[in-house]
Amino acid sequence: MTAVVAQESQLSLAGALNRALADALAADPTVLVFGEDVGALGGVFRVTDGLAARFGEQRVFDTPLAESGIVGTAIGMAMNGLRPVVEMQFDAFAYPAFEQITSHLAKLRNRTRGRVELPVVIRVPYGGGIGGVEHHCDSSEAYYTHTPGLRVVTPGTPDDAYRLLRDAIDSPDPVIFLEPKRRYWAKGPLSDERIGFDRAVVRRAGRDVTLIAYGPMVATALETAEAATEEGWDVEVVDLRSLAPFDDETVCASVVKTGRAVVVHEASGFGGYGAEVVARVTERCFHHLHAPVLRVTGFDIPYPPPKLEEHHLPSVDRILDAIGRLQWDDEVVGSCGA
């Protein structure tokens, strides 16, 4: 039986992350939280609100504006038995630390033939939809998923935010924890059921087409699925949750059932994470597909100004249009009641 962690049941995604950090700090004295403004301020998005006052400045503390130094310090701490959880404040702010992440954090365990574990969690608020500008609204998942040695996860709900972050902190391997900032204030219930780090989940069952989404696009995909019923399409929604490693089993089971798939993400399409998903689905499900696997993504441009981002980000209408461009013969459409 699943225990309920938060009976108030309407905790926000940011609140769920705060709860996860607090529970991890309370459960394990080797857990530390640090980054820019995470101490007294409680973080730009208040994810670390109250943690410094509760656990002290030795375990929750501010750092200089030096992302490479933050990650380098975390690597040294992890090598000496601690479990650092660091915040990058905004997605593109992590790029100065990219060399530390790809050259050292991702490789040290393999370089030492498994003798040195690096239990480091790097929390990265990512994506758009908050009226920010470039450097504050990147979707950088492809950089990390292309780097062997890193686990990359992203929650789409408060419940997953809590459970995935607890699992990330417990992991012996480095984890890039991507937080969809536009969903920080989405509310929902929490449970302490562990879900496994590598598993996708079917958020909505359907029989005609599979929408494959993650992070901020999960809610948009579910909204699209509801709108699609008016067009006669019964849409299944798969939330990847773990971008690396990838859950081929859950995704392919859905696509084999429906025969059609659309991958949705905020990042640019060219060379994006969706291209990898399309390739994997095509390689494994080719003989079950009724139409090519399509993508709905952000455009291949730097992140636009706030007044234009609603046109850049995948919308319900754009996803519905992609579903409509799949090959629908009269027999199938008729069976959907259209």
Catalytic amino acids? 136
Q: What gap in Å lies between CA 167 and CA 181, rounded to an integer?
A: 20
Q: How does DSSP classify residue 268?
A: E
How many CB atoms sit inside 10 A of residue 283's CB?
Answer: 10
Of 87, 251, 274, the closest CA to residue 168 belongs to 87
In the chain the beta strands, taken as DSSP E runs, fall at: 4-12, 31-35, 60-62, 83-87, 121-126, 151-153, 175-180, 187-191, 201-204, 209-213, 235-239, 242-244, 261-268, 294-298
Question: What residues have CB less than 8 Å from 141, skipping those under 6 apart?
Answer: 126, 152, 154, 178, 215, 243, 265, 267, 273
Q: How does DSSP classify residue 104?
A: I
Q: Which H/E stretch holds residue 281?
A: helix 273-285
Give the 3-state secondary structure of residue 228.
helix
What's the full length of the chain, in residues?
Answer: 338
For the chain, helix (H) and strand (E) counts, in that order, are 13, 14
| Share in percent of the chain as helix, strand, coil (round to 5) | 40, 20, 40
